[in-house]
Amino acid sequence: DAKTTQPNSMESNEEEPVHLPCNHSTISGTDYIHWYRQLPSQGPEYVIHGLTSNVNNRMASLAIAEDRKSSTLILHRATLRDAAVYYCILRAAYSGAGSYQLTFGKGTKLSVIP
Amino acid sequence: GAGVSQSPRYKVAKRGQDVALRCDPISGHVSLFWYQQALGQGPEFLTYFQNEAQLDKSGLPSDRFFAERPEGSVSTLKIQRTQQEDSAVYLCASSLRTVSSYEQYFGPGTRLTVT
């Protein structure tokens, strides 16, 4: 599986936008870019995913570089509830093994300052 | 609606004991995954079911780990002769379909402590 690189930690002030970067220079043409987050003492939670075009949903926006070698998760107004570990994950569209598991790295720990 | 549930939420086992961890996925979800998360690390894949078929068990760390999903819904992860290195949070996730574009829904996890 192609690897992703994320900063270990980031800080943001409450009610300000947050841009969480992810590098994935070895991404293949059929890899989806997924973002999950894990709040303290909870299981991971899906945030957003995309293939080539930028995506928006109620939680966040995903900006994908034109060459797809990097992406940015955008939280438009950080709240204290957004403090979590954010994982950027590549998922192959087709798996010969028939399995579609998520391969997590260490993610970015986001702290939100009141 | 109801999400993925796991039980027990916490389990303390003495080294050498067998444990069974239960996962109730979202109704109708075809895919079911088990992950293991050590302290301070991201979750790591253990095994995958499509309905009742275990299609991938490449992540199971040893033959002491066994998982089943006999009727394609509830799943049980069993660990025999637990060791201290088995201490971790065990996460279950389910997904509506088997393709990569569908998100996985995670349960709260079972925290296993082996003493």
Residues 6+ apart with CB under 8 A from B74: B22, B23, B24, B25
Predicted confidence band at B101 (pLDDT cuts at 50, 70, 90)? low
Q: What is the pLDDT of residues A26-70, one digit of tens each?
A: 998 888 999 999 999 999 999 999 999 999 999 999 999 999 999
Smallest CA–CA distance, residue A114 to chain B, in Å, is 24
Alpha-carbon gap, residue A2 to A103, rounded angstroms: 10
Q: Do A97 and B109 touch (CB under 8 A)?
A: no
Share of chain B above pLDDT 70, in %: 96
For A35, nearest residue in chain B (alpha carbons): B103
Q: What is the pLDDT of residues B10-41, one digit of tens each?
A: 999 999 999 999 999 999 999 999 999 999 99
CA neighbor of A49 nearest in space, from A87, A12, A106, A6 = A87
Say if residue A83's pLDDT is above 60.
yes
Sign of CA dihedral A111, B3, B4, B10: positive
Smallest CA–CA distance, residue B28 to chain A, in Å, is 18
Identity of the residue in B31, B43, B58 whose CB atom sits nearest the CB atom of A100? B31
For B10, nearest residue in chain A (alpha carbons): A41
Q: Does the CB of B88 have a partner CB in chain A at under 8 Å?
A: no
Report which DSSP code applies to A5. B
